[in-house]
A and B are shown apart, each in its own frame.
Chain A
């Protein structure tokens, strides 16, 4: 186990002899000249929740701050936040089985302007899209992010659905993750409940058998008694 004295020795060595960095160290530790845009899609039977997190690096943040802060007073007012969120969501393409759908803004969380300008903040937008009733079988969701295309990097992922009725079967993206197509299988409620009843009944019977067998250990085959 590494000891305290060993750690101190190494530290002293680092301080006295200086450290040689084998690979170039940069002056800053984190993304500077790109806006990281992370999308997560939660596909449920009757809606899709979209989570979009925007983290602008310090070199691109002032442009985004200017876009939000319409009156340039250094404060993001509720109206400015709502208007900005709406502009971002307008640049999102969302389709279910090829049909375009539009989301309602559910919430928008902003860091203060100074933190955002320093490249230290993340804007969190949450939106819900109501999906028309779909038949059982295969469907797909197409998502494309067209917001701030210059100087952005992207991530897009499907979350594991809460509902047993939806099973994600595939995710196809473009190379930059600006686009994702999520394939999914939709089951109707009767089907899910039927399977649940079967599984539940089967498990119940099995547990009863196990319980009876534990009461009458003598009934266990010899191999199971060991």
Chain B
């Protein structure tokens, strides 16, 4: 082969690789066909979901199951019931074995940290109930037929689609300040969109202080304080953000990103950013969290970190991490003791990217 031919081949190959890379990034949510560990995790989750169904009578099964293409998929909220009326099985209505089966399912579907976070949010709502959060029963900001129902019994489970290995289905678990929307399709899974929140943001049990979203808060403050003045100028927004921009009901919308690009951060700062992001991506079972993080990290140039508010930890500040396949928002509600957060994948919310593949 002549040297001219070799150069042509090499140039062509480079061009092809670049084109394929660009096309792949633009058109497809990069999901793996599923590793062995993902397949094993999927099988375990399906088995646990079927174990829940096995504890139910026909009425219970009818209550928990919804067709995959039903509107139930997008019915979730941060609000307590009945301000937002949820469908599915309520924990308060379950027997002890049924409830244990539900909690086992969650422990299999989620990582250890994710399960603990969910449990801490639920316990936090129980604290809210016990300390007067639910005393609006039948008045004030109460919902239809009574005030908002707080407490760890007020969480609901629903299956959207039948739990199975070969067909897509979704596990929904939610209540006040919690909406887990876990879609499985074969060996792939996503937890986008999901919502976590906390009120109170800090409480104690048996002398132990619990902060359900404390790591998110602390890692974000550490990151913003690691920025130099020039980086802060790019990252810190000059306006107040009162609540989540892409919270419940905002499916399919993409806002223009703002803040500092991840590529403008030092390697150490980037690691802090990924560590922060992992607080949301790591809620899901570890088998699915690892490829998800790899995908997010590969989009360094198009990922942004934005901040609104004071930078002293202990203050109420909003932040957002946004990339082509990621939206994370953390929004304190008027103070540090009431937090809303959202986690989305604009290209794969509810597994729409899996369906395209």
Task: Mark A residues whose CB is within 8 Å of B.
Answer: 1-4, 7, 10-11, 13-15, 17-32, 34, 36, 38, 40, 58, 114-115, 118-120, 122, 153-155, 157-160, 168, 171, 173-177, 202-203, 205-207, 209-210, 213, 219-221, 224
Q: How far is the CB of B106 from chain A (nearest CB, A)?
A: 9
Q: Are B13 and A25 closer than 8 Å at their CB atoms?
A: no
- A122 cross-chain contacts in B, Cβ below 8 A: 249
B277 beta carbon closer than 8 Å to chain A: no
Q: Are B242 and A19 closer than 8 Å at their CB atoms?
A: no
Q: Write the chain B residue with the least CB distance to A18.
A: B130
Q: State the interface size on chain B (CB cutoff 8 A).
A: 73
- B59 cross-chain contacts in A, Cβ below 8 A: none
| In the complex, per-residue mask of B93-134: 1 if CB is within 8 Å of any chain A CB, else 0 | 000000010011001000110011001000100111011110
A198 CA / B130 CA spacing, docked (Å): 65
Q: Which are the 5 A-B pairs with shortest beta-carbon distances?
A: A209-B12, A210-B16, A1-B112, A206-B19, A206-B16
A122 CA / B143 CA spacing, docked (Å): 14
Q: Are B12 and A10 closer than 8 Å at their CB atoms?
A: no
A120 contacts which of B6, B143, B205, B333 (Cβ < 8 Å)?
B143
- B202 cross-chain contacts in A, Cβ below 8 A: 21-23
Given contacts A25-B127, A160-B255, contact A31 B103 (CB under 8 A): no
Q: Are A224 and B205 closer than 8 Å at their CB atoms?
A: no
Q: Write the chain A residue with the least CB distance to B80.
A: A29
- B254 cross-chain contacts in A, Cβ below 8 A: 159-160
Q: Are A210 and B9 closer than 8 Å at their CB atoms?
A: no
- A202 cross-chain contacts in B, Cβ below 8 A: 15, 19
Given contacts A11-B126, A13-B205, A17-B205, contact A25 B107 (CB under 8 A): no
- B203 cross-chain contacts in A, Cβ below 8 A: 19-22
Q: Which of B319-357 contact A (CB under 8 A)?
A: 333-334, 336-338
A159 CA / B253 CA spacing, docked (Å): 7
Main secondary structure of the interface of A (DSSP, over half): mixed
- B241 cross-chain contacts in A, Cβ below 8 A: 155, 177
A26 CA / B83 CA spacing, docked (Å): 17
Task: Mark B residues whose CB is within 8 Å of A.
Answer: 1, 6, 9-10, 12-13, 15-20, 22-23, 79-80, 83, 100, 103-104, 107, 111-112, 115-116, 119, 123, 126-128, 130-133, 135-136, 140-144, 148, 150, 152, 176-177, 199-206, 209, 238-243, 245, 249, 253-256, 258, 333-334, 336-338
Q: Are B23 and A17 closer than 8 Å at their CB atoms?
A: no
- B209 cross-chain contacts in A, Cβ below 8 A: 22
B103 contacts which of A4, A20, A174 (Cβ < 8 Å)?
A4
B133 contacts which of A25, A115, A213 (Cβ < 8 Å)?
A25
Q: Are A220 and B238 closer than 8 Å at their CB atoms?
A: no
Most chain-B Cβ atoms within 10 A of its Cβ — which of A4, A13, A173?
Answer: A4
Q: Are B126 and A26 closer than 8 Å at their CB atoms?
A: no
Q: Are B239 and A21 closer than 8 Å at their CB atoms?
A: no
Q: Write the chain A residue with the least CB distance to B8.
A: A209
- A23 cross-chain contacts in B, Cβ below 8 A: 200-202, 336-337
- A114 cross-chain contacts in B, Cβ below 8 A: 144
- B107 cross-chain contacts in A, Cβ below 8 A: 1-4
A13 CA / B208 CA spacing, docked (Å): 11
Q: How far is the CB of B116 from chain A (nearest CB, A)?
A: 5
Q: Write the chain A residue with the least CB distance to B11.
A: A209
A24 CA / B200 CA spacing, docked (Å): 8
Q: Write the chain A residue with the least CB distance to B133.
A: A25
Given contacts A28-B136, A29-B338, A36-B243, contact A221 B9 (CB under 8 A): yes
Q: Are A19 and B130 closer than 8 Å at their CB atoms?
A: yes
Q: Are A25 and B15 closer than 8 Å at their CB atoms?
A: no
Given contacts A4-B107, A118-B143, A202-B15, contact A19 B204 (CB under 8 A): yes
